Amino acid sequence: MSRRKTSLFEDLIDVASRLPWWVGLTLAAISYFGLHRYANSPLPPAPTDPGKLFEVVGPTMWRTFAMFGQYLLPFVLTVGAGVSAWKARKRSRLADEVRDDPTAATLNQMHWQEFELVAGEAYRRRGYAVTERGGAGPDGGVDLVIRKGSESTVVQCKQYRATQVGVAIVRELFGAMTAEGASAGVVVSLGPFTRDAQAFAGGRNIKLVTGNDLQALLREGAQAPRPDREVTSRANAVSIEYVRATVPSAAAIAVSDTACPRCKSPMTKRVAKAGANAGKAFWGCSRFPECRGTRELGA
């Protein structure tokens, strides 16, 4: 798939949008004050020797560039920071929807670009630094590079629902690992992997991640330890005891000791009324519909 031609202005915004939004705003401020200071600095005196004319022409050209650049470059960086903040919010929203969906419907209905965003967010929440490469299409090379410490891992996302991921895809990733100097590789797919793909990945430090595995990563990331974990646990215990004391009958509603992943309230047993898992029981937040947190039964 060929990539459309872009202007230098669009390319600069694209580069800026790949930075954390606060980095983009910081660079915008630094570039403005730096270029503004240079643009307003005094010109060197006119040379009396014609052979030294370039000593004035060069600084004058740079000063002219600084006069325009002091506004243009900060504007580009600010727009890029805005795009970065919007993307971060979109990633977080999509990841929360996938995490809290007791079925796989949300994940299955995503565009391949959204699928890549969710995969990246899953690893961000597990403490990885994520660089989004973004292929030119759904089958473009390395989609993500994730880093933790000095080790890097290349990630390829395949939004295959019905088709199994074959060994050719895993071999392609192994070649990318060598080219990138990465210590590991990950292939993320909605659907399953063939036996040949699993056999090739074994022993080569390549992990094969299915859609269910991706949901599990998001749920594990949401349960990461926090400084206020002990206080939250005590609050959960009090809330559960309160619900048990006020519910008329244990047979009328089942209360889970597991707290809601979103608001930490107790959960109740519910039954899905629609979708692929219609009729299947799951844990739902007792504060529904104010909170729509869910967990799989037995989690």
Asked if 126 and 158 touch (Cβ cutoff 8 Å), the reply is no
Tokens of 294: 């869910």
**What is the per-residue pLDDT across 124-155, written as a single tens digit (0 to 9) for each?**
999 999 988 865 444 447 899 999 988 999 99
Tokens of 249: 């009958």
**Can you give the pLDDT at residue 233?**
43
Q: What is the spatial distance between Cα 121 and Cα 129, in angstroms, rounded to a whole number?
A: 10
Q: What is the spatial distance between Cα 204 and Cα 173, in angstroms, rounded to a whole number?
A: 11
Percent of the chain with pLDDT over 70: 75
Average confidence score pLDDT of the chain:
78
Is pLDDT above 70 for 247?
no
DSSP 103: S
Q: What are the chain's domains? A: 8-99 (no CATH), 105-222 (3.40.1350.10), 229-296 (no CATH)
Closest Cα to residue 217, out of 111, 117, 119? Answer: 119
Closest Cα to residue 115, out of 128, 98, 131? Answer: 98
Q: What is the spatial distance between Cα 269 and Cα 285, in angstroms, rounded to a whole number?
A: 9
Asked if 95 and 122 touch (Cβ cutoff 8 Å), the reply is yes
Residues with Cβ within 8 Å of 152's Cβ and at least 6 positions away in sequence, in order, are 145, 146, 180, 181, 182, 183
Q: Write out the E strands in 52-105.
A: none
Rg (CA), the chain: 26
Asked if 122 and 214 touch (Cβ cutoff 8 Å), the reply is yes
Q: What is the spatial distance between Cα 287 and Cα 225, in angstroms, rounded to a whole number?
A: 23
Residues with Cβ within 8 Å of 122's Cβ and at least 6 positions away in sequence, in order, are 95, 214, 217, 218, 221
Give the CA distances from residue 247 to residues 243, 254, 287, in Å, rounded to whole numbers and listed in that order.
Answer: 6, 9, 14
Q: What is the spatial distance between Cα 112 and Cα 139, in angstroms, rounded to a whole number?
A: 9
pLDDT band, very low/low/confident/very high, at 201 (cuts 50, 70, 90) = very high
DSSP 162: S
pLDDT band, very low/low/confident/very high, at 18 (cuts 50, 70, 90) = confident
pTM score: 0.59
**What is the per-residue pLDDT across 255-284, written as a single tens digit (0 to 9) for each?**
445 677 777 777 777 777 665 666 777 778
**What is the per-residue pLDDT across 66-115, written as a single tens digit (0 to 9) for each?**
888 889 999 999 999 999 899 889 989 999 999 888 877 888 888 888 89
**Can you give the pLDDT at residue 120?**
92
Higher pLDDT, 209 or 235: 209
* Sign of CA pseudo-dihedral 4, 153, 187, 204: positive
**Beta strand pairing call for 184-189 and 151-158:** parallel
Residue owning tokens 């959204």: 114
**Can you give the pLDDT at residue 79?**
93
State the amino acid at position 168 in one-letter form: A
Return the HEC string of 179-239.
Answer: HHCCCEEEEEECCCECHHHHHHHCCCCEEEECHHHHHHHHHHHHCCCCCCHHHHHHHHHHH
Mean pLDDT computed over 216-243: 52
**Can you give the pLDDT at residue 226?**
42
Lowest-confidence segment of 57-61, 76-80, 221-225, 281-285 by average pLDDT: 221-225
